[in-house]
Amino acid sequence: MNKKTHRVAVVGCGALAQGAHLPHCQRNPRVELVATCDIDAVNAEACRKKFGAQRAESDWRRVVEARDIDLCILCTHTNLRGEFIIPALESGKAVYTEKPLAPNFREMTDIVKATRRTGRPVCVGHNRRSSPAVLEFKRLADKALHGASSRPPTVNRMEQRKLLPEEKQLQILMRINDDSRSWKPWIFWDAEGILFAEMVHFIDLALWLNPGHPVRAFAEGSPRGNFSLLLRFNDGSITTIQHTMVGHFDYPKELFEATAGFITVGMDQHLEVRQWGMKDEPAQKFFPYAHGCDWAVKQGMAGYLQELEAEVRQSEKTGKQARWLNVNKGHYEQLDRFLTHLEGGGENPCPVDGAVAVNRVAMKLLESVRLGLPVAITPEDWHIPEL
């Protein structure tokens, strides 16, 4: 397939755009960066110069109206979603939008209807679906769930008994270590807090990894942080998401474990995937650091901690700021997969229908944490009907 150049505008030039989307556009050979757009004209112009865009805009309506742009990357706060996305689709543009898709159900469904009416796609930035380590984690978890042969354990009292119903379920644990000292002040004033703004990443993974549909949600803690979320699925499988806001920023943030069919699969900080039980799969696989962190050469979690400790000790000696050892969470790959989809070469990595279900479940968890009670998840929360 001949590579097509996609004429792109990045709308919203904050930290995420400058740390991920703009540099990724700059280094992707299929992207022509036409415009940077931000309500702060000085910031938009600074990003234009830094990342080599053709022009800067301070009014997103000019991006929607522009004839030389065919893909918009929306990186603003959720106060700008449907108001931008729907006219952009109607003008013939595709849209890659950061999560969450929208702050309320009406706006989400209006976006879904617009994608179906115009035939133009929207991809939501649940980028962990494109993390190389998470894709491997999902492959192994699916294999375990669908009957991969498990090694006998060192202690085995199974004898000839039949499986219990619970022994056929998928159990997932996601531990999120976060450090609220790194957050921007707005999050502390936001009524939905981190539970909505950030946890949609992991709710998305829960819905993506579980073959069934969710039926009940329970949350305990504060939406601002320090909470546990529990999702029960129709086959009895349970996913637990545990989040802390009082961890250390440089400690590995994300640890996932899935158990099914007497096999355990783990994904640690997008650097290492482990499994035990499958005879035909290695116990460990390592994945590279993020682009720009080539100075770190030691692999896996042990290597990560060794590299980090060496960097911090060197910083303490010299007085210079320690370098951030970043990992690949799939931001570049998610956009690149969407470009391939626009060229007719693959599936949309995260279409809006699935993102609506994610946001609806997140809202149920917010309801639960405020009530202090479990709440039901019904079909209208996870199923989007045809027009």
User: Tell me, what's the pLDDT at 1?
Assistant: 41
Name every residue whose Cβ is closer than 8 Å to that of residue 163 and which is 6 or more positions away in sequence: none
Name every residue whose Cβ is closer than 8 Å to that of residue 362 and which is 6 or more positions away in sequence: 100, 192, 195, 196, 199, 200, 203
| Domain 6-120: assigned CATH number | 3.40.50.720
* Angle between the N-to-C axes of helices 132-145 and 200-209, in degrees from 0 to 180, rounded to the nearest 10: 40
User: Tell me, what's the pLDDT at 64?
Assistant: 95
Regions of the chain short of the pLDDT cut 50: 1-2
User: Tell me, what's the pLDDT at 96?
Assistant: 97
State pTM to two decimals: 0.94
Helix and strand counts by DSSP (H, E) for the chain: 14, 15
CATH T-level assignment (fold) for domain 129-287+328-343+358-380: Dihydrodipicolinate Reductase; domain 2 (3.30.360)
Domains 6-120 and 129-287+328-343+358-380 share a fold: no
What is 169-193 written as a DSSP string?
--EEEEEEE-BGGGS-THHHH-SSH
Summarised one tens digit per residue, pLDDT across range 341-366 is 999 999 999 999 889 999 999 999 99
What does the domain layout of the chain look like in residue ranges?
Answer: 6-120, 129-287+328-343+358-380
User: Tell me, what's the pLDDT at 79?
Assistant: 84
User: Tell me, what's the pLDDT at 193?
Assistant: 85
Name every residue whose Cβ is closer than 8 Å to that of residue 5 and which is 6 or more positions away in sequence: 30, 31, 32
Rounded Cα gap, residues 200 and 198, in angstroms: 5
Rounded Cα gap, residues 73 and 95, in angstroms: 6
